[in-house]
Every structure is written in structure tokens, then in C-alpha cells.
Amino acid sequence: MSEKNMQNFVKEYLKKVKSKLPEWLKDKKEHKEILAELEEHIWSKADELSETGTATQRSVQIAITHMGTPESIAKEYKRRGTPKVYITEEMWQMYLKVITVVFGVIVGIVLITQIIEFIFGNFNSILDAISGLQLGLLVAFVVITIVFVALSMEGYFPEDFKSKKTIEKEKQKYETAREEGIPISAIKIKLLKPYIKPAGEIVGGFIGIIFGVILIVQPIPVITNLIDTEFLIFLQFAGLFFVAESALGLIRGLIGNRQMIAHQIIHSITIIVKLASISVVILMMNRPEIFPILVVDNLSTSLVNIGIAPEFYSIFRVIAWAIIAIIVLTTIENFIGITKAEKYKSRE
């Protein structure tokens, strides 16, 4: 085999290797360095294996065999991430963010659609909405998970999805840090704002607990005597949920910017409490006739409960659905809090 034929043989092998490399690597200059280094190894090995000390057809073929198949070489570059379940640790945060955003969008669309249905008088679509929501969340979860498993198997990192301009800015920032003698780890920590504002969580927790206790105790008999007993029971249950959620917020404030696992657990419990509180709103929504409307009687100048007129029941239900939508949307903040806490674990 002539030298030109041997070169073509090596180039054909390198071409196959390039075709098997992961996509994230093909878009970078790094792949050229990899192929150049591999070619150098092949020729060096071929010279070493040749009896004459110069590459021959036989020694080139043996050298390539020693290098391995294109698939085996590419496989080494796909083992880039740190294993964590089936999705690498490097892609895990991005996976959780995408799941949170997509789930939030799906829930929002279903709720808006349901509110529109109620506005137009269709009150029998709630079961269809729930089943549609479940199906949507399941499909989204499966599709997103499959995509991220595939990306992890190919060795992708989150930075592979950043633009060249963003990457250059980050490099410049870290180069400046090195020149100033600031550790890179310190720069990363500086970029993170405090996880929570403890004072705000503590004050908000106390206010919520006080409000919840008022709903439970119902200390103003002049008013409660005018209200249906069943509605007062609903208020007491609502008060219990207020106290529970506010107490969880208070605990987070007392923990402060540490113990991120504890924050994640509390956020998870808060989500359950919020979703459970929807049951109270649904019970009230189905009993509009007991909802109190207190006005001052012109003759006696005392408070009277006139309730809601039947023609306004549909509006009452729309408002109730809007409240449910707000409760569900606030759980997105808790999901974000869970994913955000992952970033801060390294600071502990």
C-alpha cells in the first residue's frame, strides 16, 4: 500500500470516528484536536509496530485495531457527566427547571380553559379537566425525561446549550477573577443571592398564623351569629390550612440560609398543604347559598346577612375557580424553591 493509500485509509477511519462523536462535540474546535491527536497516535503506533521503523500497510491496520472501533472511541466522550439515576448530575438542575416550567404552563392552560368553561355555563367539565391535566402532566414528564436521558447518554452539559457570546462573557469574567487573585469558587458563590430573606419569612409566618387562628376561634360573635354554621366550619378548616402553611414559612425563616435539604422538605409539605386547601374552596363553591353578604339594615341600623342572589351563583363559582387557580400557581414558587435549593447545597 502506497503512502497516499495509507493516508486515505487513516482519513477514512478518522471520518468514521468523527461521525460517531456526540453532537455537542462536533460543534466545537475541540473535535479537530481530538482527531489530530488520534491520527498522530495511529502513525506513531504504526511506526512502532513496523519491523522497518516506518509505517506499512500491515502496521497501520494493526495500529487502527489497537485504537478501537469508532463507536468505542466516541463512547469515551459520551461518559462526560456524573451518573445520577439515568440523568447525569450536571443535567439534573436543568431537567428539574424544564419539568417545573412545563408543568406550570400545563396547569395554567387547564385552569384558564376551565374558568372559560364556567363563564359560559358549562359546570360539568371538571372531571374532563382533571383527567386532561393528569394525561398532560404524564405525557410531558415522559417526553422530557426521555429527552434528558438521551442528552445525558450523549454526554451533554448545560453549557453546551449556551451561545458562544454567553460563554465568552463567562470566560472573561473568570479570567478577570484570576488576574485579581479571587478564587473561582468564591466568584461562583458571590453570584448567588441569599436563598431567602429570613425576616420576611418570619414576619409573614406570624401574620399568617394570627389570621388563621382568628378564622379558627371566630372571636366576634356579633358577626358569627349571623353566618350559617356550615360556612363557619369551612372557615375553621381554612384557618387550619392558613396556620399550617404559615408555620412552615416561619420554620423556613428560622432555618435561614442553611440546611437546604430541610428547605426542600418544607417546600414539598407546603405544596401538599396548598393543594389540600383547595378542597375547602370546592366545598364552598358547591354551597353558594350559605356564603354571607353582610350589610347594614337601613331601618334597624344593624348588620343583616342577605346572602348571594341565585342569579349571581355562576359569578361566585368563577371567583372560586380563580382562587383555585391562584393556589395552584403559587405551588410553582415552591417547586422553583426546591430546584433552587440544589444550587445552594454546595455552599453549606
Q: Does residue 128 fall inside a structural domain?
A: no
Q: Does residue 237 fall inside a structural domain?
A: yes
Structural domain boundaries, residue 257: 193-348
Which of 33, 59, 78 lies at the terminal end of a domain, its last residue?
78
Q: Does residue 184 fall inside a structural domain?
A: no
Q: Does residue 25 fall inside a structural domain?
A: yes
Domain count for the chain, please give it. Answer: 2
199 and 344 together in one domain = yes
Which of 78, 105, 134 lies at the terminal end of a domain, its last residue?
78
Tens-of-pLDDT digits for all 348 residues of the chain?
567 777 778 888 888 877 777 655 555 566 677 777 777 878 887 777 777 777 777 787 788 887 778 777 766 655 555 656 678 777 888 888 888 888 887 887 777 777 766 666 666 667 777 777 888 888 888 888 888 888 777 767 676 665 566 656 666 665 665 565 554 444 454 455 778 888 888 889 889 999 999 999 988 888 888 999 999 999 999 999 999 999 999 999 888 888 888 899 999 999 999 999 999 999 999 999 999 998 888 887 788 889 999 999 999 999 999 999 899 889 988 988 888 888 777 555
**Which amino acid is present at 232?**
L
CA pair distance 77, 20, nearest whole angstrom: 10
Query: pTM of the predicted model, to two decimals?
Result: 0.53
Q: Are 212 and 240 in contact (CB under 8 A)?
A: yes
Q: Are 92 and 84 in contact (CB under 8 A)?
A: yes
Q: Does residue 265 fall inside a structural domain?
A: yes
Q: Does residue 213 fall inside a structural domain?
A: yes
In our burial notation (b when 16+ CB lie closer than 10 A, e otherwise), range 6-40 reads beebbeebbeebbeebbebbeeeeebeebbeebbe
Which of 28, 61, 78 lies at the terminal end of a domain, its last residue?
78
Q: How many other CB atoms sit within 10 Å of the CB of residue 316? A: 17
